[in-house]
Structure formats: C-alpha cells, structure tokens
A and B are shown apart, each in its own frame.
Chain A
Amino acid sequence: MLRFFGFRLLRAAITIVMVVSFAFVVLRLSGDPAQIIMGADAPPEAIAAFRRAWGLEEPLWLQYFHYFGAILSGDLGRSMRDGRDAIALVVERIPATLALTVPALLIKLGLGIPAGITAALHRNSFIDRAVMMLAVAGFTVPSFVLGLLLVLVFAVQLGWLPSGGQESWRHAILPIVTMGVGGAAVLARFTRSAMLEVLGQPYIRTASAKGVPWRAVVWGHALPNAAIPTVTIIGFMVGSLIAGAVVVESVFSWPGVGRLLVVAVANRDLAVVQCILLLVAATMVTANLVVDLLYGALDPRLRQRTA
C-alpha cells in the first residue's frame, strides 16, 4: 500500500512540477514581459527598471529557480495591471465561484446519478429514452447557449429572475441551473453506461441466475462496481470546482474566478492567469490523487496495473 501511495504522490508531484515549468516556459516564450507590460513605446529607463525589479536580467536557469522558490513560498507575483497580490486577487473571488459550483455539483450528483441508474435498470423504457435524450441535449447544447436561453425565457420574457449580477441568492439560480443541468446530463450518461457494462458482466448474471434477489444484486454487486468508473468523472467535477464556471460566470456577469480569468486573459495580466492556472492544477491534481487512492481501496486490480 505504501508503495502505491508513494507512486501516486510522485506522479502528482511530477505533474505539478510540469505545470509550473509549463507556466514558466510559456511565460518566457511569450515575449519580453517588460515590453508587454510597459508597452512597446515605454521609455528604455522604465523598461530597464522593470526588468531589474522582476529579475529578468538573470540567466534563464536562475530565473527558473527563483520562479520555483517564489511559487513554493506562495509568492505568485502581482497583478501587472493594478499591482495587487495576484494570489489575494484570486482568493477573494473563490467564495463567489464556490457559491455557484458547489450547489451545481450537488445538482449534478443528485440528478445525474439516480437518472443514470434508473435508465440503466429500465433499459429501453420510456424513462431510459427520456434520460438519454436529455443527456444528448446536455452535451450538444453548450453552456453559454443554455444560459442565454434561460435568460431569454426567465429573465427577459417572464421577468421572474434577474439576468446577471450577484446581488442576491436569486441571481445565483440561473447560473447554478445552467451548470447543474448540463453536468447532470453528462453524469447520467456516464453512470448509465457504467451500470450497463456491469450489469452485462457474467458474475451479475450468475448471481441473479442463482436466485439472489434482483434488488440485492443491484445494491450488492452492480452499484459498487459501477461506482468505480463514475468516481473518475466525479473527481474531475470536484477538481474543477474552482474554475469550472468560466463560461457561465461570463454569461451571468458573476464576479468569480472564471470571470477574473477571462478578464485577465483579455488584458494579458500574466501573474493572475498564472496564479489561476497553478491553483486549478493543484486542485485538479489533488482531486485526481484522491480518486486514485479511492480506486486503490475499491479495486485492487488497479493497484497492480499501475505499480
């Protein structure tokens, strides 16, 4: 078990190092930050001062080391636009994003998994077809289209709900629904096929042939086994709690991390972008790690395969 943990941790650490290196390389490749920030027509003295302040005159490998050191000590630079600490800027947006993504995740789980299981257990029934139709729609309708349609209906036509902003809980309803419905559809599809796969396995058929009650077969054998692949996608959803709302936040002008990211990208505010990138990678890697460890607990075969 220790070996497995060690292996997983190592992989996670390598991934984080790769993300950081990626950020560094891309940052340097993207041109002279001094030029970018100060503008091409800035006076040379100002540029030189900037370069000195940001350590841009050192050799590249030294910059890389400093970069790593800075990140390890939690110093992710300052927003190149308003000079504030990038990390503070990002962190203060997190609650707003979580206010959308956590309820949306609950909707996804609460709707998607039961719908998928029901569909699988009643294969080809009306319920199955309805669930799958919705799942298809959930995938093919992009969230910005769904969001705008909801705005069009509930805000513009009916006037029941506000179309954007963050003044009250009512403002959160449409974004949460937008995200939750789409995600629930994907999860339902996924759960359904995982269930169907398990239900087709010989041991399930054997169990039910031996006279084990169907209910016990489903709860005792099928669900735990179908949970294994489903956990992956849930892990992915948990991993994207922090930045999973980029598009939806933009549609509804919700001041979360995603909105911040889009604005930062548009303004090429590199420190902020990089900070969000690292934060997202860290959450994602952590979520993947937890999922993998859960797997290890759920399915001993996987430990073998990866070790």
Chain B
Amino acid sequence: MSGIALPVGLISEGKRRRRWPVLVVFAIAWLSLMLGIALLADVIAPYAYTALDLRNRLAPPGATMLHPLGTDELGRDVLSRLIFSIRMSLLIAFGATIIGALIGTSLGVLAAHFRGLVEQVVLALVDFSASLPFLILALAVLAFFGNSLTLFICLLGLHAWERYARIARGLVISAGAQGYAAAVRQLGASPWRVYGRHVLPNIASTLIVSMTLAFPEIILLESGLSFLGLGVQPPETSLGSMVGYGREYLTRAPWILLSPAAVIVLTTFSVSVLGDWLRDRLDPTLS
C-alpha cells in the first residue's frame, strides 16, 4: 500500500495567498481538541466509561440532560465512552506510529550502512510485508498470540515499517554516496556522529511527514480490528469497538455508533490534511 496522501491541489492551490488554509486551521483545531480530550479524559468525562445507568437505557441524544449524546443498551453514557475511546485510540495510534517509525528507520539505516547481506535481509523483510495485506497479517498474529493492549500496539507498530525502512535506506544511501555524510565521515567522524548529528536530522522532516501519513492509517486499522471485535477488548473501549458494539443497535439506537464514526472520519481527515500540508512545506521531494 502506498502512502495515502491528500491531493495537494485540494489544500494549497488557489489558496497560496493565505498562509493558513482554512482546512489546515480546521485540522489543527480538531486535533488539538482531540489531544485535549485525550489528556483530560479523567477530568472532563461526566461518568466512568463503565458506569451503568439502568434507568436510562438506549436514551437518544438530548432525551435527558444527564446524557447529552445518549446512552447505550446498558445505560452507559455515550459521551463518556466517546471521551475514553478517543484517548485509547490516540494512545494506540501514537504508540504504534512511533514504534513503526523507530523500527523502520533503524532497519533502513542499518541496511544502508552495512549494505551486502544485511541489506538483502532487510529488503527480503520488506518484500515479505508487501506480500501480505497488513490486516490479514495482524489478524493472524492476533489469532496466534491472543490479545493484549501492549501486543496490539506493537502489532500495529509493524504497520508501515517497511515504508520508513525504504525511505530511510534510500535517503541514507544518497546522503552517503556523494554528499555531506561522506564528507563528515572522511573528517574522521564515528558512524554514531555521522548518523546522529548529520544524516538523521537531515532526513527527519521526510520521516515526520511519513509519520503523519501512517497515523491515520493506523487509526483506521485499529478501529477496523476493534470493530471486528479483535482489537481493543472490553471493558476497554476505543472508537472502533464503539462502532462495532453500536452496530447491534443500528436500527434502534444509531447514535451509539454515529458519534464515534464521525470522530474517526474527522480525525483521519485532519491528520491527512495536516500531513499533506506539512509535506508541501517541508519536503517537496516526497510524492
């Protein structure tokens, strides 16, 4: 799967004059809101996400002042669950994105540094990841290992690692071939210095842009797996598992799934917009 990026034209073209395109402002505002909610979940959630209110089951939004977004089958407050789900989904997406970037970049740098056998092994691993849709691979691992939050995050962290590996390898090789890296190496610098002080800072912007492209994909994967009941396990809740749970009540109480679904869509949309905008500004070479 190639990077999923928004069309450049949608965001920047025709709006060149303005420094901050409307969509970008919206994306930043929305993501800040999501981050704020995730950080302050304990404070702002009106109820615990497991708290039952058996007198108000399946209450539609606005029906009682107690539950502005309604309640589910067990009378749990949808708003509170939504807040905690946002926290969970963001935690997973951040964790997994960082893990993927770390693993992928390290392997890519190793491949470029040692070349030869190491590089062939890394490339074979890249082939391997490309040979399986990640969803299938993830499902297989979950079947074999069972599920826990840590495992789940690490598993999603494997998503897109090969993209970082490929990018890092290419950039390191080209940096090392003619340019500044070769120059610093022949000054007598150790590999640590060459990579740590020169190469990584130079390729960081490209890698960060790749992270903003992988982040929404991970949110989608997480919610997809959780929707299937194979991701985040009850009593924990995430955006995807809320949708999966709400699906049972699609006819009677669609509000249970509509609000988490909207949050998923808006969040992935915002990160994509932001990533695309960053890419335009930081790294015109990344297509």
Contacts and interface: CB of A to CB of B under 8 A. Distances in A.
A–B contact, 8 Å CB criterion (strictly below): yes
Given A136-B272, A186-B4, A284-B132, A23 B140 contact: yes
B260 to A, nearest CB: 9
5 contacts: A132-B6, A141-B265, A197-B287, A232-B2, A247-B224
A293 to B, nearest CB: 15
A246 B135 contact: yes
A73 B135 CA distance: 27
Contacts of B131: 15-16, 19, 281, 284-285, 288
Contacts of B220: 142
A243 B243 contact: no
Interface string A182-206: 0000100110110001000000000
The contact size tier of chain A is 35 or more
Contacts of B125: 18
Interface in B89-119: none
Given A30-B145, A145-B261, A22 B250 contact: no
A152 B136 CA distance: 28
Contacts of B227: 142, 144, 247, 250
A244 interface: yes
B118 to A, nearest CB: 16
Interface in A120-138: 123-124, 128-129, 132-133, 135-136
A307 interface: no
Given A145-B261, A152-B250, A247-B228, A265 B142 contact: yes
Interface in A234-253: 236, 239-240, 243-244, 246-247, 250-251
A250 B257 CA distance: 16
A144 B133 contact: no
B1 A132 contact: no
The 5 closest A-B pairs by CB, nearest first: A30-B144, A265-B143, A140-B269, A273-B143, A132-B7
A261 B145 CA distance: 15
B14 A124 contact: yes
B56 to A, nearest CB: 23
A60 interface: no
Given A15-B127, A247-B228, A277 B140 contact: yes
B124 interface: yes
A145 B243 contact: yes
A131 to B, nearest CB: 9
Contact of A280 (B4, B133, B269): B133
Contact of A246 (B4, B136, B146, B244): B136
Nearest to B262: A145
Interface in B219-262: 220, 223-224, 227-230, 240, 243-244, 247, 250-251, 254, 257, 261
A193 B287 contact: yes
B139 A265 contact: yes
A192 B7 contact: yes
B192 interface: no
Nearest to A273: B143
A178 interface: no
Given A152-B254, A276-B136, A140 B224 contact: no
B85 interface: no
Q: Considering residues A132, A144, A152, A288, which has the most beta carbons from chain B within 10 angstroms of its beta carbon?
A: A144
A273 B144 contact: yes
A128 B144 contact: no
Given A129-B10, A261-B139, 10 more contacts: A14-B127, A23-B140, A140-B265, A141-B265, A145-B243, A233-B2, A250-B227, A262-B230, A265-B230, A273-B144
A54 interface: no
A26 B265 contact: no
Interface string B194-232: 000000000000000000000010001001100111100
Nearest to A26: B144
B189 interface: no
Contact of A266 (B13, B145, B229, B243): B229
Nearest to A274: B140
A148 B268 CA distance: 18
A105 to B, nearest CB: 14
Contacts of A143: 224
A160 interface: no
Q: Which of B141, B143, B247, B265 has the most CB of A within 10 A?
A: B143
A21 to B, nearest CB: 10
Nearest to B268: A140
A142 B224 contact: yes
A179 interface: no
Interface string B1-41: 11010110110011000000000000000000000000000
A273 B243 contact: no
A19 B128 contact: yes
